[in-house]
Each structure stands twice: as structure tokens, then as C-alpha cells.
Amino acid sequence: EAGVAQSPRYKIIEKRQSVAFWCNPISGHATLYWYQQILGQGPKLLIQFQNNGVVDDSQLPKDRFSAERLKGVDSTLKIQPAKLEDSAVYLCASSYLTTVNEQFFGPGTRLTVL
Amino acid sequence: AQSVAQPEDQVNVAEGNPLTVKCTYSVSGNPYLFWYVQYPNRGLQFLLKYITGDNLVKGSYGFEAEFNKSQTSFHLKKPSALVSDSALYFCAVRGNNNDMRFGAGTRLTVKP
């Protein structure tokens, strides 16, 4: 079974630039999550999709972050414009539909904002 | 909203000794609890979960966790630590709307 795929693995940008991350979940997983993990901290949920609908985006900084999951499969997370404090690893995860199922994580995208 | 606390930033144990990584939680309704491990430069890997049933849950790599409802705890344990267990461990709780909250993580170091 193929795992969660993310690209790019690394990205360096200047502040005020824009950046986009891509995630392809495990086939058949209805739920997709984006997390932000700042160095030394636990993952922080940014947004959760169930199929192509948003379940929870309460911690997403909506003035600069956006995400979409067209057709309920792949997802893109965008930051525009980026700030220095956005430097982090962005993790994508997917799971089956129910609350009892564990999440499977991708390798993450390490973003450095200079 | 649900939350998780991992009171220890760092746990050091000698190889062959038992290890415990602590986790306490706060959630309304039934708790769904998870442990994940993160090795350097790798994504998070699922270790085990508590949904319902036996309070002692067994997971991957010889790890187990004990659910204690009265103390709202879900401590991770292993009878005999290996050097290869050295990693970052995260406890997580899922609420009724399926959202997940992670703790800050505990760095486990197992010394030979």
C-alpha cells in the first residue's frame, strides 16, 4: 500500500512570497489533515477535510493560509504572503472516515522563510 | 476543546530498563487516544490507540499503554528499552468531531 505523498520536501522562500504544498493521501481515505509542526512542538492541526468538505479549520490563519481538496482526493495548502513565523514542517495525514481510525502521515515539507 | 499534556520534555533510560512516557488528557465525551513516534527526518508513525475495552493496549515494537479514566492518563510503557527506541513520542486525543490534538512531545533517549 502506497503511503501519503507530499511535495516538495523542502522549500526556501523570502518573506512576503507565496508557496504551495501538495498532498496525495492513501487511496480510499476520506479524511485528510494538514498540520503545522514548529521545531520543538507537537503538530498543530490547521485544517481537516472529509471528502472535499471542510470539517475543522478553526486553527487556520485564514488571512494568509488557504487549502482545498478538489474531487476529494489530492489537496493543496497555500501560504500567501509568508511570514518568518511560518517556518515549520507542514505535515499531511489521511485516515479512514471514522473517529477510531489512526492517521497515516506523509514525510512532510520543511519550509524556511527568510 | 480537547487537549493533551506531556509533562516531561525528556526521558532518559538505560537500555534494558523499563520506560514510561507520560500523557494526560482532557476531552468531553469518550476519549480516543493515540501514541505516535517520530524518528529524525521521518514522518510520524502510529504506535497504538485506545478506543474502548481493555485498559492495557498493546502496540507496535513491544510498546503498550495503560488507559486510566480516573486519572485521565494514557502513559506509554515498554518493559525493556532498546537504543533504537530513542525518538520523539507524541500523545494525541481525538474529539467527537474527529479532530485531533497532539501533545508537545517527549524526547526519549535510551543509553547503552
pLDDT in tens, B46-57: 999 999 888 999
Provide residues of A within 8 Å CB-CB of chain B.
4, 31, 33, 35, 40-45, 48, 50, 55-56, 91, 93, 98-100, 102-108
Nearest CA in chain A to B42: A107
User: Is A107 within 8 Å of B42 when comparing Cβ atoms?
Assistant: yes
pLDDT higher than threshold 70 for residue A82: yes
B48 φ/ψ sector (left φ>0, alpha ψ -120 to 50, else beta): beta
Which among B32, B90, B94 has the least Cβ separation from residue A42?
B90
Q: Is A25 exposed, middle or buried (0-12, 13-18, 19+ CB in 10 A)?
A: buried
Percent of chain A clearing pLDDT 90 (strictly above): 79
pLDDT (average), residues A70-85? 94
Nearest CA in chain B to A107: B43
For residues A57 and B25, what is the distance between their CA atoms, to the nearest angstrom?
Answer: 22
Collapsing DSSP to helix, strand or coil, A21 comes out as strand
Per residue in B26-48, pLDDT (tens digit) is: 988 888 999 999 988 778 999 99
Q: Does B53 touch chain A (CB under 8 A)?
A: no
| pLDDT of res. A1 | 62
Q: How many beta-carbon pairs under 8 angstroms link A with B? A: 59
How many residues are there in chain B?
Answer: 112
pLDDT higher than threshold 80 for residue A99: no
User: Which residue stretches of chain B have pLDDT < 70?
Assistant: 97-98
Closest by CA position to B53, among listed B29, B31, B77:
B31
